[in-house]
């Protein structure tokens, strides 16, 4: 059975999504929680719709894994949330056909970048924004530049 998870995480304490040797990743954290529920019977591998860099957050990341045990797909969200740290939360767990793949079946991805353009950082926004203040940003010039990105684009070269 292929189980898809929609989840969110605060990436402040992670080195990104993908498992790495010398630091804690979201993938490693999620797979460890899954293994606890399967009693370490077999190695479970998760596949995400995309990867994030160190310190980057996700509000609606999607990943999947294959499982053949007794836990129903709809129970995985609650079961995992009881084992994951507060920085990671499963929003929903659903069943998908075996041909579905979190990365290859994704029909869109949305990214949000927040620039805080003020004299001083904001305590409540600082973890989720980039503080930039040398001069006021030119909103009109930024909108003109961003208009070039609207629509369907091929960002393959940025992989």
Catalytic: which of 10, 53, 139, 154? 53
For residues 2-25, average pLDDT? 95
Q: Is the pLDDT of residue 40 over 80?
A: no
**Residue tagged 């040797």 (tokens):** 21
Q: Is 139 a catalytic residue?
A: no
Cα-atom radius of gyration of the chain, to the nearest Å? 18
pLDDT value at residue 41: 64
Average pLDDT in the 22-48 region?
Answer: 91
Average pLDDT over residues 14-40: 93
DSSP secondary structure of 76-122: HHHHHHTTS-TTEEEEEEEEE-TT--TTTT---------EE-SSS--
User: What is the rounded CA–CA span in Å between residue 50 and residue 96?
Assistant: 18
pTM: 0.81
Residue-wise pLDDT tens digits, 65-99? 999 889 999 999 999 999 999 999 999 999 999 99
Task: Please give the pLDDT value at position 77.
Answer: 97
Q: How confident is the model at residue 36 (pLDDT cuts 50, 70, 90)?
A: very high
Helix (H, G, I), strand (E, B) or coil at 12: helix
Region 144-158: mean pLDDT is 83
* Beta strands at 115-116 and 130-131: parallel, antiparallel or unpaired: parallel
Residues 37 and 140: their CA atoms lie apart, in Å, by 52
Token code pair at residue 60: 């609606």
Task: Give tens-digit pLDDT for 102-146.
Answer: 999 988 888 888 888 888 888 898 888 888 777 888 889 989 998
């Amino acid at each position: 059975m292929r189980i898809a998870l929609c989840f969110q995480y605060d990436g402040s304490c992670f080195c990104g999504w993908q498992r790495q040797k010398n630091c804690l990743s979201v993938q490693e954290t999620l797979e460890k929680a899954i293994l606890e529920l399967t009693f370490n019977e077999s190695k479970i591998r998760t596949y995400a719709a995309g990867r994030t860099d160190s310190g980057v957050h996700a509000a609606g990341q999607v990943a999947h894994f294959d499982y053949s045990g007794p836990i129903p797909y709809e129970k995985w969200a609650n079961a995992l949330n009881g084992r994951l740290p507060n920085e990671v939360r499963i929003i929903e767990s659903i069943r998908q056909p075996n041909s579905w793949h979190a990365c290859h079946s994704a029909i869109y991805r949305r990214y949000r970048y927040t620039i805080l353009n003020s004299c001083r950082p904001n305590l409540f926004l600082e973890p989720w924004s980039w503080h930039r203040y040398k001069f006021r940003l030119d909103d009109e010039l930024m909108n003109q530049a961003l208009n070039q990105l609207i629509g369907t684009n091929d960002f393959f070269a940025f992989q």
